[in-house]
Every structure is written in structure tokens, then in C-alpha cells.
A and B are shown apart, each in its own frame.
Chain A
Amino acid sequence: MEFKQTRQGYVDALIELGAELPELVVLDADVGKATLTLQFQEKYPDRFFNCGVQEQNMLAVAAGMSLAGKIPFASTFGVFATCRAGDQLRNAIAYPKANVKLGITHCGLSVGGDGASHQSNEDIAITRSFPNLTILVPGDYQEAKLATKAAARHIGPVYLRLGRDKYPVVPEIHDSFEIGKAKLLKNGNDITIISTGIMISEALKASGLLSQRGISVRLIHMHTIKPLDREIIISAAKETGGIVTVEEHSIIGGLGEAVAGVVAETYPCPVQRVGMMDVFGESGPAQELFDKFGLRASNIVEKAEMINSVKNTIP
């Protein structure tokens, strides 16, 4: 299996877009070596602005640049973009619908060694509550590229959630990318797994394990958290009667709650969430942390079987 970084997909797309869109500019807050935007700077030095360690100023400067006709991509880590500069993200970007794109890396537990201070497990919850903001969570390198290109051509603010680690390449999600349109990867009848971001590889593994046990799985890759593809969720609730959500994010305020909200209001059925429980992470290799905090195919299988047994007791 091949492993690649989603942040590399982001920057490779930026470099390609640089040639097509002269208005595109990139800002960073002294983490360009980590977000990889320094690779863009190498190619387009006059269109790159290193703001130093000042995320708050950077996001509002980006808003100003968008008002003056540029398409700014601002990059930093998830914790800084949404918590430290959350006010600027809300008031300078989301509220006035500034045409700013946030290329945000180091999201989720897979940040690894830097520990809980740098592991953004709440950024979806925060950004999802801001009106006007589109939220994209690509599943691998190639889809990160597609999502970045879609974000650049979308008019309005976009939050692009990317990771730090190398993640499995998943050819099943490389065909196309349409904002707001989830990808149906398997069309089963017994239960649905809805996954977002890089958890797609674990979700695929889980769906394989479940079909070995005779359970027919519907697998949906929800790369857009907002606007949420409600139709595909409602159909899944109606046709499979149970849903497991999977995300590298807190179970509070993330994909799981978004899906549960749609289901509860339209076609109630059991929903189980796989994600970070209500705890902070810790330092360690990403793979070990995924084991420790329950972000594995086995955790998905467990929840799916739990739902299946409940479903079978309902007359």
C-alpha cells in the first residue's frame, strides 16, 4: 500500500493553480516548512506572504486581500486557525463571506509526537457552527489535490482540513470531486458506514471485515462536512436502518453529530460514532495513538455489530 501526505496534495495543487490563477496568493504564519507552503514560495516568491507567528493578523489580512480581488490561501495548523484565530475566522472571513481559503494542516490525532496542544480534534465542531463556511475533509493525497482545486474555484470561504502524517492512498476516491456531494463507495443494505477524511482507509477495512461476516455494508465517504449531503444520509437511514460514523475528530460536534442530527429529524435510526471520545490526545506515533484512542477498523466493526444486534431486536 502506498502512503502520502494530504498536505503535499494541497501544496502540489497550489503550485499547479498558481499558473492558472494569477490572483491566487498564499499566506503562512511561520509554519511553511510544515504546511509545505514554502514549496509554493519557491515557485512564486512574489505571491507568498510569511506573516510570522501571527495567525490572527494573517487571517484578517487574508480577508483584506480577498476584498481587493485576490484569492488568498492562508495556511497554519488546525489548533491555531480555529482556536487562536477563531475570532478572525468567524468575523473577518465567515461572516462577510470573504473569498479566503484556509489550507489547514496538522488536524487530528495523527499529528502524533507534538501532543494534545497541537492535535486539533475540535476544528470541525468550531467551523461547522460558522454560517457561510464550506468545510472539506479530503481522504488522501490525490483527493486533497482535487479538493484544493475545487476550493480555489468556489466563490466564498472554504476550510480545507488536512493532516500531518502519511496516509494510505485510496484509489476508490480519486474519480472526481464535487463540493457537497458525498461518494458512495459500496452499496450495501444491512448497515451504513459514513467516514470523513483519512479515516476512509480504516472504514474500507471495516467494511471488508463486516462483509466477511455476512453483513452487507453501505460505505459513504463524506469529504464535505458543510454543506452536508443530507440526501445520501437520509437514503442510508431508510434503506439500511443503522449508521456508524467515523472521523479523526472529537465525537462532539463533528461528522457524527452532523449525521445524527439529520437522521433524528428525518428518519430516526441507530447511529454510533467512532472518533475521539471527550478527551485530549497525547504524544506518540500516530499509529499507536489510533490504537489507543479507538480509531481503528476494529472499533468500527464493534459499533456496526452493536447496531446490527439492536436492529434485530426491533420487531
Chain B
Amino acid sequence: MEDKLAVLKSKCIHIRRQIIKMVYNARSGHIGGSLGSTELLVALYYHIMKHNPDDPEWPLRDRFILSKGHCTPVLYAVLADLGYFPEKDLLTFRRPGSHLQGHPYQPKTPGVEATTGSLGIGFSTGLGMALVAKMNGEDQRYFIICGDGELQEGQIWEAAMFANKYKLNNVIAFVDRNYLQTDGNSEDIMPLDPLAEKWNSFGWATYEIDGHNLEEIINTVNDADKSDRPVMIIANTIKGKGVSFMENAVGWHGGVPSEEEAAKSLKELENGI
């Protein structure tokens, strides 16, 4: 496990560097939330999920849905690294003709399971897929990441009731809890706490973890697998994690780094802050 964790940690560094490069190159994109959810995606794609980049349509694969669809940089960096599509495609991110749209578009991008971007939609779409797996008696799992700001959408709470009704314990969702949304701190904009109590009362098994601790993510999912209820893991994270001037800074939700900032970010990620 120690060796494995070391591999995953270095993978996180690589993915974070790719995020900076993609957004710098595209001159647009969402860095902060991508850096903040890197450990979640790395733990899922490189250790937890059953999937096969050589056969993206394998019916019994576990599914991942990025409901906070604006964080495509982290998703695309992971998918490219795993070989779902060529790494050079990342340089076409947000460019005309690219299959790498600003927000995930399922028909075009290998490995992308659902079209998301309008907040709330990915969550419900994932539940719809999970419901069919239940109907078919299949045992693949459905991993969904929501942003914390996204939970302000009414649709999320519609979906929360729905998953409880249909006992979708094949759903393991995360909320990327960084307390920051576009216009400021979530508790100022539209308070969400006490968040775990909300999910519990909606019938979900709820965990609260350090969303940057790979071991904790893996152990929690192992435990969540035994749940007879849908699972919500509140992953406490730092938006902009890994780059000193981006950490916990509101401006890096959708900010684009200058040449100097990009260089500094890449250096910090290589050497540590």
C-alpha cells in the first residue's frame, strides 16, 4: 500500500501540472476546483474503479460522472494519462473542432460518461444509470463528484430523494467541499452547513473525510461499498490545492494564469510549496 500511495501521489503532481498547462494554453478554464479534486479523481481512476481504457464501452465498468462539469481540466488530464485519448489532444482543450469541450460532452470524448455542466444534471443522470444497473441486476458502481456550490441547486435535493426511494446503494457520490464558489464563501453566498446532517436526513449514508488524503479516500470507499443506502462522502478540500497563491483564493475559480504565474505554479508543483 505504501508503494501504491507513493505512485498515486506522484500521479497527482503530474495531473496538477497538466491542469495548469491546459488552462494556460487555452487561456480559459477552471483551475481552482480542478486542483482541489485531483486526489479524488486519481484515487478513483488509478486505484478504486474497474475500467478499461482499451475498451471504454465495457458494459460492466464502474462509471465516473463529473457533475461539477466545469472541472474538465482534471478529468481530461486523467483520461489522457490513462490512454482514453492521445495526450496531445489536451492542447486542443476549448479550441474550435476539439472533442475536449469546456464542459464534458459524452458523445464526443472517449471515457466521458455523461454530458454535464449545468449544475445538478450530472448527479441525476448518474442516478438514472445506476437505476438501470439495479433493474438489470448488474453490480458496477456509479461514482459522482458534485461541487459544494452545486448543492445549492434544487435539483440536487430532488435527486437525493429519488436515490433514497430506489435504494441506489450502487451510487457513491462525493461533494468537493472547499467552501468556495464563484462569488465567494459558500456560507456567505448560501449556507450549506450542517451538510452531513442534511444528507443523513435524506436517507444517505454519509462520511466526512480529508479529500486530499488518498488513503482515507480509498478506505472510505471500501467501507461505503458495504452500504445498503446511497453514499455521500463529504470530501473537505482546498480549492487551488498545490499552488501557494491559488489555495483558498476566490479569484482562481475561473482565473487564467499569466506566463509568470504558470511557470511559478509548475515549479511549486514539482518542488512542493
Interface residues of A (CB under 8 A from B): 46, 49, 51-52, 54, 56-57, 59-70, 72, 87-88, 90-92, 95-97
Contacts and interface: CB of A to CB of B under 8 A. Distances in A.
B117 A91 contact: yes
Majority DSSP secondary structure for residues of A touching B: helix
Majority DSSP secondary structure for residues of B touching A: helix
18 contacts: A54-B158, A57-B124, A57-B159, A60-B124, A63-B125, A64-B114, A64-B128, A65-B128, A66-B128, A67-B113, A68-B129, A68-B132, A69-B132, A70-B132, A92-B121, A95-B105, A96-B114, A97-B107
B195 interface: no
Interface string B135-167: 100000000000000000011001101100110
A242 B138 CA distance: 59
A64 B115 contact: no
A65 B132 contact: yes
B128 A61 contact: yes
Contacts of A59: 124
Contact of B158 (A56, A65, A66, A72): A56
Given A54-B158, A56-B154, A91-B118, A64 B105 contact: no
Given A57-B158, A57-B159, A61-B162, A67 B118 contact: no
B72 to A, nearest CB: 15
**What is the size category of the interface that chain B forms with chain A?**
20 to 34
Nearest to B166: A49
A67 B128 contact: yes
B128 A56 contact: no
Interface of B: 105-107, 113-115, 117-118, 120-121, 123-133, 135, 154-155, 158-159, 161-162, 165-166
A25 B38 CA distance: 37
A45 to B, nearest CB: 12
Contact of A63 (B128, B154, B162): B128
Contact of B115 (A52, A57, A68, A91): A91
B121 A60 contact: yes
A65 B142 CA distance: 13
Contacts of A95: 105, 115
Contact of A88 (B105, B121, B127, B135): B121
Given A56-B154, A57-B162, A67 B121 contact: no
Nearest to A57: B158
B3 to A, nearest CB: 36
B135 A46 contact: yes
A199 to B, nearest CB: 34
A92 B133 CA distance: 19
List the 10 shortest-distance A-B pairs measured between CB atoms, nearest first. Answer: A64-B128, A60-B124, A68-B132, A54-B158, A57-B158, A61-B128, A96-B115, A64-B125, A64-B129, A65-B128
Which of B114, B128, B135 gathers the greatest number of chain A CB atoms within 10 Å?
B128
A54 B120 contact: no
A62 to B, nearest CB: 6
Contacts of B113: 67
B124 A68 contact: no
Nearest to A69: B132
A96 B126 contact: no
A56 to B, nearest CB: 4
B103 to A, nearest CB: 9
A255 to B, nearest CB: 29
Nearest to B103: A91
A61 B130 CA distance: 9
Which of B107, B125, B133 gathers the greatest number of chain A CB atoms within 10 Å?
B125
A57 B155 contact: yes
A49 B118 contact: no
A61 B131 contact: yes
Contacts of B128: 60-68, 72
Contacts of A64: 114, 124-132
A223 B183 CA distance: 47
A95 B117 CA distance: 11
A51 B162 contact: yes
Contacts of B130: 64
B131 A49 contact: yes
Nearest to B159: A57
Which of A46, A59, A63, A68 gathers the greatest number of chain B CB atoms within 10 Å?
A68
Given A60-B125, A64-B131, A96-B115, 18 more contacts: A49-B131, A54-B161, A56-B120, A57-B124, A60-B120, A60-B121, A61-B162, A62-B128, A63-B115, A63-B121, A63-B124, A64-B129, A64-B130, A65-B132, A67-B128, A88-B118, A92-B115, A92-B118
Which of A49, A52, A60, A67 gathers the greatest number of chain B CB atoms within 10 Å?
A60
Nearest to A90: B118
A232 B112 CA distance: 41
Nearest to A50: B165
Contacts of A68: 128-129, 132-133
B68 to A, nearest CB: 14
B204 to A, nearest CB: 15
A11 B54 CA distance: 42
Contact of B124 (A52, A56, A69, A70): A56
